[in-house]
Amino acid sequence: MASNIPPFNPTNTKIWFIQLQAIFDAKRVTSQRARYCYLVEKLPLEVVEEVTDFLENVPEERPYDTLKQAILQRTGVSNEAMLRNLFTQVELGNRTPSQLLRHMKALLGDDKMKSLWLGKLPPTTKQILAPMSEDTVTEKLADIADRIHESSWSRQVYAHQRQPD
């Protein structure tokens, strides 16, 4: 079972725990104690050092949930740091608009990413999406933005190919 668990992800601990939960569900591991043991087995030394107090005194009730919460609090990136990262580091780059939205949601774990996400899009795309953004589900907007992105990229390639040497 432990070989199915991916290596600990210090970049986004929350997502790693989501993966872990899916593995536990698929393998029908429901015991808090068993989950706790699998978790401890996969923790890197630097995380073990952060939660040694929980490892030396295993809680009788809900050991997995208690350790998980401690790991998230002690090793996870704070929401403030993730917001700072979103505003300074995260850009559209080579992603499609919908990939950018999913990445931003994964960083914060928050469904209210619409305005932040729209702010990262090219101005033309924002202008097209603005009239529909209040009444449209974010994922639908992302699909529309992808089509806008594809068509503008295609026009850029076509314009570049048609320029005389």
The token pair at 58 is: 């295993």
Picking from 24-28, 48-52, 66-70, 157-161, which range would have the lowest pLDDT averaged per residue? 157-161
Q: With a cut of 70, say whether residue 2 has pLDDT above it.
A: no
Q: Is the pTM of this model over 0.75?
A: no
C-alpha span between 133 and 65 (Å, rounded) = 38
Q: Residue 18 phi/psi, 5° resolution? A: -65, -45
- Please spell the DSSP secondary structure of 24-68, one letter per residue: HHHTT---HHHHHHHHHHH--HHHHHHTHHHHHS--SS-HHHHHH
Q: 20-63: per-residue pLDDT in tens?
A: 999 999 999 999 999 999 999 999 999 999 999 989 999 899 99
The token pair at 73 is: 């609090």
Q: 84-95: per-residue pLDDT in tens?
A: 766 677 788 888
C-alpha span between 165 and 151 (Å, rounded) = 24
